Amino acid sequence: VLHYKRFFSNPVVGIFRDKVLSSPPGDRSLFPVFTAYRGDIELPDIYTNMDYFGGIQIEGPNLYGVAVNGHTAMVTIMRNDTVFGKMTSEKFRILNDNTISAQAAVVFYFENDSIYHPGLRVKYTNEDQQLVLYNEKEGSNSIPFFDSYHQLDIYVQALFWKLNEENILFKRIRMVNEKNLAYFVSSNYYSDRDFYQLQGIDDLHPLYVIQNFINTYQVSEIQLGVLAGYMKLSPEQVSAMLIGLSNKGFLVYNTETQIAIVKDRLNYFLNAKAGVTDYDVLSLVSDVTTKPNASFNIHNLGLSVYGVPQVSISDSQEVYIYPYDKSIQFFKNRNFNFDGHVHMGLLDFYTRNSTFVYDSFMLRMNYIDSLAFMVKSQDSRSRNDSLIHVNNVITDLNGSIYIDDPNNKSGMKNFPLFPTFVSNDESYVFFNRKSIQDSTLHADHFYYRVDPFVFDSIRTFSTDGLAFEGTLVSSGIFPDISQPLVVMSDYSLGFEHHTPETGYPVYDAKGTFTRDISLSNEGFIGQGSLKFLTSSSTSDRYIFYPDSLVAIGQSFVVEKSPLEYDFPFVQGDTVDIRWMVDTNVMFVDNLDKPFIMYSNSLLIGNLELNPGYMHGDGAFYFDQSELVSNTLQFNYNRLSADSADFYLKNRENDTLVFYANQYHAKINFDEQTGWFNHLYDNSFVKFPFNKYISTLDEVEWRMEEDMLLLKSNLSKDYKGLDTLNNMEVIDYKLVG
């Protein structure tokens, strides 16, 4: 009878054995030994949140939980007053501060599922409440954790869990600057490589042997001896085979009873090989150095896997995921969340907050930062490998990729419409690169809004004839333009659009543009004609900016307007046009020939048009005269200049007869008169032919009479520089 007040309130009946020793007993003494008869002894709270159920054995000073009469020893892990996990073994060593087992089956429960492993070493330290479960073997040849909630087989060396924390860690035991590999494989995974790897060098595949045995004997349990006789092999050889199949999850094998029970996975694997059932290829590798391979949160049941460079969803459909931070988070039934790059055929998606939905076999991408794609080279379309990236991306999408028919995850059958991408909402293309009009086409106001669209048959997808329906919003340059977006000759997304015959209002109806509009990475460009006020111009390259327009015009004409704008007639060839939209001022410079103005006058220089005026800067030629000023103002039938130099030549011999320096000038073409008013102290008039200089207040020019009337309120005239008589100097009528 055993009295052990720490655990038992009543005596325990059992067998006592002792041995005479030559030395005093110590911590490692094996005697005396007490073994309880009963195998259903309960020891509550052997550690924090841990209970024990099973047999009891004391060896020397040490307490063990042991299997008795076919009942295994079991440690139960409690959480929130419910059973969260169980560890069963032939023997547990139960010390004051820790427990150890050489081999234990372990299971953790959550919802209606579990994480199970048939054989792990157990080490628990009560001080920090840390449970360590580990495999002696490592890698894909070890026995996996079978996770029915996430439907994964987890090939990892060890599980670490501090019972007072919410995260269970999967990792290698020693991780100091070493590669730490783990494998996460779908429960429905199949590959021919794995199938034949199971066979090894055997003549017959062990799965076929087991299936044939069950069908022959019509049994659900396999006895080792009977199977050994059937296979004509030794029990030891067959037992090793059964242990190997048990480790892979094809059956459950009890080495004590030598009985194996076949699991559904065996028939599933054989049916997948025969092509009569569907399967998947979902298998990923975790490769880390300092982090754990995975972390299981027992609160939200998310399994975060780290060090994952790539996830292959479908080999046949070429769908691959490259997580940004090399991590994904599994939830129930292989659904997982990720942020990353999804490659599918010619398409590349860059996504955040995306989910792989296993049952529907789809990717739900809630936010796609951008969609990039490739097209065939336009100069070598016959070459399959001649692919070029399109220079724009489609941004701000959300949508879904339907990878294949949900019942064809293996890709054994051909469904031509898959994979399919469905864009659910509007998305955008922007043209705000530095190389495109110096980043002036700001994304806030200038963008192409793409309508929801569908790409199907992506595996055989051709970008020839590809077009996106949608609308261009052009920052007020034009009204919204609905024109499909296509791949342009510079491999950018854009379009060519022809306006109606009446043209489009441009810059909030400040003008009208007619003919062709093109958009690409070369810019937002027009070819046609532009009307502004009473002016019209033509150009093969108008460049539209949100706040301005520039062009080299082949022609430029201003129709005379006596009433609305008070403009004269202007005609120009090969001109530089700059229209500043905010101030509504158009600058026009002649590049080759002078402007023709009024009827037969010329301007070499530039014009400035605004609804309130037409200004000029340059040399204005009319009749036998030249007017040079940077303050020219042109009106319907007259012009003026605040400060000008005026030159008048003889009609017969083209010699200069009159020159006014820095005078206010006014010319009236209807009245055929001109006035020149003295402005500054240094203003003067000069008669080169007569060698006469004066600071007259005013000069009136009567064009039809070829007469200059000189007027002055000054008391002093300056005569010629040389000594001349009056008859030689004065040849004009002077008044004043």
Ordered structural domains, the chain, with CATH: 14-185 (2.60.450), 192-274 (1.10.10.10), 510-729 (no CATH)
Q: What is the pTM of this model?
A: 0.83
Contacts (Cβ under 8 Å, ≥6 apart) of 693:
684, 685, 686, 687, 718, 720, 721
User: What pLDDT is recorded for position 316?
Assistant: 87
Q: For 480-539, how does the pLDDT look when each residue is reduced to its tens digit (9 = 90+)?
A: 999 999 999 899 999 999 999 999 999 999 999 999 999 999 999 999 999 999 999 999
How confident is residue 10, by pLDDT bands cut at 50, 70 and 90? Answer: confident
Closest CA to 543 of 577, 511, 588: 577
Rounded CA separation 663/576 (Å): 30
What is the total residue count of the chain? 736
Q: 131-140, 206-215, 473-482, 550-559: which range is least confident on average?
A: 131-140
- The reported pLDDT for the residue numbered 732 is 38
Mean predicted confidence (pLDDT) in 166-170: 97
Q: How confident is the model at residue 723 (pLDDT cuts 50, 70, 90)?
A: very low
Q: Is the pLDDT of residue 347 over 70?
A: yes
User: What pLDDT, on a 0 to 100 scale, did the predictor assign at position 321?
Assistant: 97
DSSP 569: P
pLDDT digits (tens, 9 = 90+) for 625-647: 999 999 999 999 999 999 999 99
Residue 206 has pLDDT above 60, yes or no: yes
Helix (H) or strand (E) run with residue 268 in it? helix 264-274
Give the whole-angstrom CA distance, residue 701 versus residue 254: 125
The predicted structure's pLDDT at residue 380: 55
CA gap 683, 35 in Å, rounded: 131
Q: What is the pLDDT of residues 443-459, one digit of tens each?
A: 999 999 999 999 988 77
Q: Where does the pLDDT of residue 141 fall: very low under 50, low under 70, confident under 90, or very high at 90 and above?
A: low
> Any idea of the CA torsion for 327, 328, 330, 335, to the nearest 10 degrees?
-160
> Pick the residue with more confidence: 223 or 563?
223
d(CA 231, CA 240): 13
| Stretch 591-608: mean pLDDT | 94
The more confidently predicted of residues 600 and 162 is: 162
pLDDT, averaged across the chain: 89
The span from the CA of 684 to the CA of 676, in Å, is 10
Q: For the chain, give the percent of residues with pLDDT over 70.
A: 91
Q: Which residue has the higher pLDDT, 87 or 686?
A: 87
Residue 2 has pLDDT above 80, yes or no: no
**CB 74 within 8 Å of CB 54:** yes
Which residue has better confidence, 38 or 170? 170
Tokens at 184, concatenated: 């996460």
Residue 6 — very low, low, confident or very high, per pLDDT cuts 50/70/90?
A: low
